[in-house]
Amino acid sequence: MAYDASLVSEIVSRVIAEVGTAPKANNTVPVGVSNRHIHLSKEHVEILFGKGYELTPMKELSQPGQYACKEVLTIVGPAMRPIENVRVLGPVRKASQVEISRTDSFVLKVKPPVRESGDIAGSAPVTILGPKGVVTLNEGCIIANRHIHMSEEDGVAFGVKDGDYVTVDVQGERRTTFYDVQVRVNKAFRLEMHVDTDDANAAGIGNGFKVEIVK
């Protein structure tokens, strides 16, 4: 059988083009949905729960060394409408921090900025109610930015470095594109993209859903 060389070349070119635009398995990242939660300093743990109190680990989280605690607290804003049973995450930090969603901010009547976790300077005030005491944070309430945790090996594989921003494509019934997703690279991190409940609900995704980094 005779083959038309130009036709074969055209077919090969088309196949290569299609493969080149198809999603790559190594570009996918699992999702972790982050509900509202609280990080506490040692000082504030003792104010809220009592002198010498130690947080009680309940479940390990995806990132090594991080865990959900048995302890839950109540947060209150200017509206005086409380949000109860807000989970405390460990271990203790240098400064206390409350991470909520935009929907939560409407309940509390606060205006938290979208920030990287730990960047609380000039953020919104909030009051935390505990079984033994009350802590009012003059700053410390934020909406966590969308971000991806990566190990150093993952960073090399994806061609990104700590502090970079990427675009993420979410396939599914409610296809969505997330822009300006911060990359956090650390040798101790495990690969996972963190979004809050508002983002997850809007995109129709949950824990373990796979999304794709778009270069």
Q: What φ, ψ does residue 198 adopt, rounded to 5°? A: -65, -50
Cα 194 to Cα 181: distance, rounded to the nearest angstrom: 9
The sign one gets for the Cα dihedral 135, 121, 160, 213 is: positive
Q: What is the pTM of this model?
A: 0.84
How far apart CA 152 and CA 161 sit, in angstroms, is 8
Distances (CA, A) of 21 to 96, 168, 173: 45, 15, 21
Name the strand (E) or helix (H) holding 47: helix 42-49
pLDDT tens digits for 18-33? 444 344 446 899 999 9
What does the pLDDT look like over 163-194, one tens digit per residue? 999 999 999 789 999 999 999 999 999 999 99
Cβ–Cβ under 8 Å, residues 138 and 110: no
Q: Which residues of the chain have pLDDT under 70?
A: 1-26
> What are the structural domains, with CATH classification, of the chain?
27-32+146-214 (2.40.40.20), 35-144 (no CATH)
